[in-house]
Amino acid sequence: MFKRLLPVLLIVCSCVTGHSQGKLSIENVHAAYLRNSGTIMENNQIKGYFFLYQSDKIDRQTNEYTLQILDQNINKVIDIKFEDSKQLSLLEAAYNNSSLAFLFKNNDNKTLDLKIYSIDGKLKYTYSRGFDIRTDELMKRYQTLHTDEGTNQNIFDLGERGYASGYPVRDGKQVSYEVDFYSSQTRKMWTYVPVEDEEKYANAEYLGSTDSLIILQVLKKNRKLSKKVAPQIVAINFVTRKKAFEIDGENDEYILLPSSVINLREQGKILLMGNYYDKGDKVLNDYSQGIASYEINSKGVVLSKKYNSWTGDFASYLPTNQKGKIESIGYLYIHKLIQSNGKLFVVGEGYKRQASAGGIALTALGMLAGANTSAGVTKIVVTDLVMMEFSSEYKITNATIYNKTNNTALGGPASDYGSQHMLAAYLKSTGSFDYEFTTGDADNSNFTVCYSDFVRNAEYKGQTFNSIRYNGEKFVTDKIELKSKASRMIVLPAKTGSVMIVEYFKKTKKLELRIEKLG
Amino acid sequence: MSLLKSVTQCLLCVCLITYAVAVSAQSEVYKLGGTDAGALQSLSDKHENVFKQTIAALPDEHKKDLLQLYKARWDNARQKFEKKEIYTAPAPSAYLSELIKEIVSNNPVLSRLPLSCYYSRSGNPNASYIGEGIILINMGLFTRLENESQVAFVICHEIAHQYLKHSEKTIADYVARINSKEVQEELKTIKNSKYRRSQPLEELTNSLTFDTRRHVRQNEAEADSLAVEFLKHTRFDPAEVIATLKILDKIDSDTISTNECLKKLFNSERYPFQQKWISKEEGLLGGHAKLQSDEFEDSLKTHPDCKLRISKLEPVINKLNGGSKNVIDAGRFRHYTQLFRYEVVEYAYSAGNYGRSLYYTLELLQRMPSDPYLIANIGRVLNGIFYAQKDHHLNNHVDLPAPAYPSHYNEILQFIQNLYLENIASINFHFLERYQDKLKEYPPFMEAYRTSIQIAEK
Name every residue whose Cβ is closer than 8 Å to that of residue A211 and which is 6 or more positions away in sequence: A159
Note the pLDDT tens digit of each residue in A64-82: 988 888 888 988 888 888 8
- A223 pLDDT band, cuts 50/70/90, is low
* Element (DSSP H or E) covering residue B149: helix B148-163
Q: Is the pLDDT of residue B356 over 90?
A: yes
Which chain B residues have a beta carbon less than 8 Å from that of A50? none
Picking from A270-274, A358-362, A398-402, which range would have the lowest pLDDT averaged per residue?
Answer: A358-362
Which chain B residues have a beta carbon less than 8 Å from that of A18? 65, 68-69, 174-175, 178
Indicate yes or no: CB of A72 within 8 angstroms of CB of B284.
yes
Indicate yes or no: CB of B198 within 8 angstroms of CB of A64.
yes
Which residue in chain A has the smallest CA separation from B413?
A: A73
* AA identity, residue B175: V
Q: Is the pLDDT of residue A445 over 70?
A: yes
Q: What are phi and psi of B97, to 5 degrees?
A: -60, -35
Which chain B residues have a beta carbon less than 8 Å from that of A71? 283-285, 288-289
Which string of b and e fits A419-446 if b means at least 16 CB within 10 Å? ebbebbbbbbeebbbbbbbbbbbeebeb
Which chain A residues have a beta carbon less than 8 Å from that of B284? 40, 47-48, 69, 71-72, 77, 95, 100, 119
Q: Which residue has the higher pLDDT, A136 or B426?
A: B426
Note the pLDDT tens digit of each residue in B423-457: 999 999 999 999 999 999 999 999 999 999 999 98
Q: Chains A, B: CB contacts under 8 A, how many?
A: 131
CB-nearest to B402 from A29, A73, A519 is A73
Domain regions of chain B by residue span: 2-27+256-282+353-457, 37-239
Q: Is the pLDDT of residue B238 over 50?
A: yes
Residues facing A156 on adjacent strands: A164
Separation in Å, CA of A24 to nearest CA in chain B? 6
Indicate yes or no: CB of A56 within 8 angstroms of CB of B417.
no
Interface test with A, best of B66, B279, B420 (most A CBs within 10 A): B420
CB-nearest to A18 from B68, B187, B402 is B68
What is the pLDDT, as a whole number, of residue A197? Answer: 57
Indicate yes or no: CB of A497 within 8 angstroms of CB of B420.
yes
Question: How many Å apart are CA A260 and CA B144, to the nearest integer?
Answer: 58
Indicate yes or no: CB of A40 within 8 angstroms of CB of B284.
yes
Indicate yes or no: CB of A515 within 8 angstroms of CB of B400.
yes
What angle, rounded to 10 degrees, do the helices at B166-178 and B198-232 form?
160
Look up the ipTM and state it. 0.81
Interface test with B, best of A49, A72, A478 (most B CBs within 10 A): A72
CB-nearest to A76 from B62, B188, B289 is B289
CB-nearest to A57 from B184, B195, B292 is B195
Indicate yes or no: CB of B394 within 8 angstroms of CB of A516.
yes
Separation in Å, CA of A220 to nearest CA in chain B? 39
Indicate yes or no: CB of B285 within 8 angstroms of CB of A469.
no
Which string of b and e fits B17-51 if b means at least 16 CB within 10 Å? ebbebbbebbeeebebebbeeeebeebbeebeebb
Which chain B residues have a beta carbon less than 8 Å from that of A471? 420, 422
Indicate yes or no: CB of A29 within 8 angstroms of CB of B187.
yes
What is the pLDDT, as a whole number, of residue A241? Answer: 87
Average pLDDT along chain B: 87
Taking alpha carbons only, the member of A413, A360, A414, A389 closest to residue A468 is A389
Q: Is the pLDDT of residue A510 over 50?
A: yes
Note the pLDDT tens digit of each residue in B158-215: 999 999 999 999 999 999 999 999 999 999 999 888 899 888 988 898 888 888 888 8
Indicate yes or no: CB of B420 within 8 angstroms of CB of A446.
yes
| % of chain B residues with pLDDT over 90 | 74
Which chain A residues have a beta carbon less than 8 Å from that of B393? 516
What is the pLDDT, as a whole number, of residue A6? Answer: 34
Taking alpha carbons only, the member of B50, B136, B30, B150 closest to residue B91 is B30
What is the pLDDT, as a whole number, of residue A16? Answer: 31
Q: Is the pLDDT of residue A17 over 50?
A: no
pTM of the model: 0.83
Question: How many Å apart are CA B369 and CA B449, to the nearest integer?
Answer: 18
CB-nearest to B392 from A19, A57, A519 is A519
